[in-house]
A and B are shown apart, each in its own frame.
Chain A
Amino acid sequence: MEKKILIRGNEAIGEGAIQSGCRAYFGYPITPQNELTAYMAKRMFEVKGVFIQAESEIAAINMVFGASLTGVRTMTSSSSPGISLKQEGISYMAACQLPGVIVNIQRGGPGLGNIAGSQGDYFQATRGGGHGDYRTIVLAPYSAQEMFDLTCLSFQLADKYRNPVMLLSDGIVGQMIEPMRQNWDTNDKNIEWKVRGEDWILNGCKGREPRMVRSLLMEEGELEKLNWELNRKYKKMEEQEVRVDLWNIEDAEIIIVAYGIAARIGKTVIQRARRQGLKVGMIRPITLWPFPIQVIKDIAQKVKSFLVIEMSLGQMVEDVRLAIEGKRRVHFCGRPGGSVLEVDEILDKLREISNLK
């Protein structure tokens, strides 16, 4: 039997980062992601990496910017209000084509909100909360295992496209403790620093032409050229990086679309609904951007209707409706920040939908 360990979601992200060769972490404390910052403080010391508790979230993202320039794998994490502060830095990273991983363990908003889990930052994450015409890949884990796996994937994708990647989770998945497969050597304290981008990083120009990394492009045509280049990159991400999990789809008449903690709650709903004879399945986007438009389109041809569930008052539901282009009814069931979606209310909604003609 493969070895499993019991681990908290937030800590699984930290270990995923360490195993991915991340050797520079910058953060500022905020609940409900503090276990991640604490974990990085401990582990970075063990692997002789860099851990800095920055003076603010803005400082932390700009430290990520600077570390990324030197070719190391780097990460910052925060929760909703802190992620808002990081948006300027993320926009600059996108413009300068700098890889880096930004973790958002969402809490209730708007404003300072509260410390309970929520999914109110979907718009901000998928539409690029900073200014300008840019995209970030957004991955949405829903278990401790995926907190680990998708963190590893985040670093790979960030390097592959030289682009910031956001890991979008929430306070519940972050705080939850679950078994996770452990497939690395715990005694290995010398996992290599991954230095990459020999052809673009700033590592001292002795023996070569100096390089400059900047986002201020004032010369005629310069900025447009960059934007087209970025656009080609984003198109490639849309073609190659869509990831989705399908569950009980084969005979389904109603499809639940949900991500993160809402998908966990949705699975309980489906287990119970099927016992009551309702044929319900689930599409769980793992990449929120690029969004699984084609998968939803294809499945829409075979089912009666959709129910989107979110711990918000309706954000991803807009993407589902765009994908379906009005060909099927798309219902919504959500609860805003400050509350938790309940299985019974979703079951009620499902019964209501299944009785519709």
Chain B
Amino acid sequence: MTKSNSRANALEVEGLIKSYGDRRVVDEVDLEIRAGEIFCLLGPNGAGKTTTVEILEGYRERDGGRVSVLGLDPGGRPLQLRTRVGIVLQTTGSFERLTVAETVAQFAGFYPNPLPTEEALSLVDLVESSDKLSGDLSGGQRRRLDVACGLVGRPELLFLDEPTTGLDPEARRRMWSVLEGLRTQGVTVLLTTHYMDEAAHLADRVSVLVQGRVVARGTPETLAPPEPILSVVELQLDSPDLSVAELSRLVGEEVVPDAEGWVRIPSEEPTGLILRLAEWVRSSGRSEVPGLAVQRPSLEDVYLALVEHHGRRIEVLS
């Protein structure tokens, strides 16, 4: 309660440091997660994500910095904290010969005021598999069971470590709708993922970790790249009426269509470019082109630019 806004934050980290031997894997990390939001920690393998999260969960001791999880210090995994958080690890053990309902009921038994098993299962859309053995579930169902075990104790804060890694697209979508449902339950979520579409879809705010440092933070829509990334206007040419040479002259640089006739033109002013392209198409005696699209930089573009920029810069420094 050092700050006036502490009450609204489920988790606060200031200057977190952790080294393995000489190697500093978490280097002055600051995080702030507001109560009720889905917060996503992004970063390449080896960036210190898992170490950071495991310090917050209480599995690892930190070397320095201030950490407050629900107002408590997670060091030494105090019982009060374990009672109020839910943890879904990457590898979560099996309980293969217990049924889905038995597995969730077991976890319910650890907490003072758990959800009824049936309710936890309906939150993750597994009621119909209640009597199946956990070992007989599909990958997506098993991950949803993990989430049910993390939720059944009515946590205020849920840690979700790569909940959809290795799942097929349909199973990932189903997990997303489960996690979106949590938002209405008021649970704060700390999510780690390698999928940028997942972060863009679910997260209220993200932080990007590269080589142990937070290099960017913000909402998925406003996360700033190290240098501006241009939008790309894509246009498909399919007839000799539309000459590549003419188009190159129009945009002021040489364009090369791919096998399907698509050309991609980066632009600082995509709307203006489209107006000029439309004028050119009409003056060529056409009213339509087969394909026209504007690609704004996605979270993935921004993320990759950040990782490349900061990864390289830190390599140069060391």
Do the two chains bind? no
Q: Identify the B interface with A (CB < 8 A).
A: none
Residues of A within 8 A of B (CB): none
